[in-house]
Amino acid sequence: MTDSEKMREKEAEKMEVDSNLLDSLEKPEKIHQVIQEAILLAGGATAILLQVAEPGVGKGVDEHSNFGYRPLDRLRTTMTYVYCVTFGTRDERKAVIEMVHRAHASVKGPDYSADDPQLQLWVAATLYAVGIEIYQEIFGRLDDETAQAIYREYSILALSLRVTPEMWPEDQHAFWEYWDKQIKTMEITENAKNIAHDLLWNKKAPLTIRFALPFVRLTTAQMLPPRVREAYGLKTGKIRRGTYRFTMGLTKAAYPALPRAIRTYPMKYYMKDMRRRLDERKS
């Protein structure tokens, strides 16, 4: 076997999903009540800006994606992954995780790699932190037992990205210690600022999205930790904070009353889209 063939074989092995991992992802229960809610998409821009605030993630996204031309692609990829890992069948989880591994394989440079477990731990952490904050803002605080169960199950988003079980903080207290340390020490690079500009001031996005961007900038600025918001150059103030609180108040009153079919529509949409793409790969 030639060296190139051995290298390809090693790469193929890295793409394979361990059956033990698939076993550990089986039958999540509590996380479904959070992940299924469409309101979590309101934190999409916040999660992305937090992810790319990690310099390695920022470099990978800025240097290896067409984010400026297709700003919704990362949202589609992320939500497909999140919904499939939590709601998909065993075979669907395996297929999507392998797709993510293949996509990450070429995203690397002298000082970063998309397969770095520390970077993937941070990505998964942002999904939990932003998602649980929005959920509790709308539906009220969870009791301690439910909150801890949901936190434990959120680890599946990290474990399927090459993060080992011991890397995921053991409980919520440990998680928020990790979170605070990350927020206090990370530096917002030019890569991250480029992505923020493409995301929040994108002139190539469809008109309907561009129309919504001022509101997205407003809500994202209020959701970000102050240090991160300031580093990105996003503005806040008494009027902006008041507008955000008023908007969240209206949402808290109206959203839970919506029919479940509406609240879960994005989950069903992305799952259907994922299954269509998997069928196309088979044919």
Mean pLDDT, rounded, of the chain? 86
**What is the pLDDT at residue 214?**
92
Q: 1 in a domain, yes or no?
A: no
Give alpha helix (H) positions in the chain.
Answer: 3-15, 19-24, 32-35, 44-52, 55-64, 72-87, 90-105, 117-139, 144-154, 156-159, 172-185, 190-200, 207-223, 226-232, 238-254, 260-263, 265-282
Query: Mean pLDDT highest for which of 5-14, 87-96, 201-210?
Result: 87-96
- Is the pLDDT at 257 greater than 80? The verdict is yes
Q: 4 in a domain, yes or no?
A: no
User: What's the CA gap between 127 and 123, in Å, rounded?
Assistant: 7
- What residue type is assigned to position 255 of the chain? Y
**What is the pLDDT at residue 62?**
87
- Is the pLDDT at 17 greater than 80? The verdict is no
Q: 276 in a domain, yes or no?
A: yes
User: What's the CA gap between 37 and 96, in Å, rounded?
Assistant: 21
**Reported confidence tier of residue 15, pLDDT bands at 50, 70, 90:** very low
Q: 75 in a domain, yes or no?
A: yes
Domain coverage including residue 25: 15-282
Residue 57, number of CB atoms within 10 A of its CB: 26
- Is the pLDDT at 163 greater than 70? The verdict is yes
Task: List, in order, residues 6 or more apart from 242 with CB less than 8 Å away.
Answer: none
Q: 3 in a domain, yes or no?
A: no
pLDDT tens for each residue of 69-95: 566 677 778 888 999 989 988 888 888
Q: 82 in a domain, yes or no?
A: yes
Contact 85, 24 (CB under 8 A): no
Please count the CA atoms within 13 angstroms of the CA of 274 that sit on its side-chain side.
Answer: 28
**What is the pLDDT at residue 42?**
93
Q: 162 in a domain, yes or no?
A: yes
Domain count, the chain: 1
- Is the pLDDT at 172 greater than 70? The verdict is yes
Q: 2 in a domain, yes or no?
A: no
Q: How far apart are the first and last CA of the chain?
A: 31
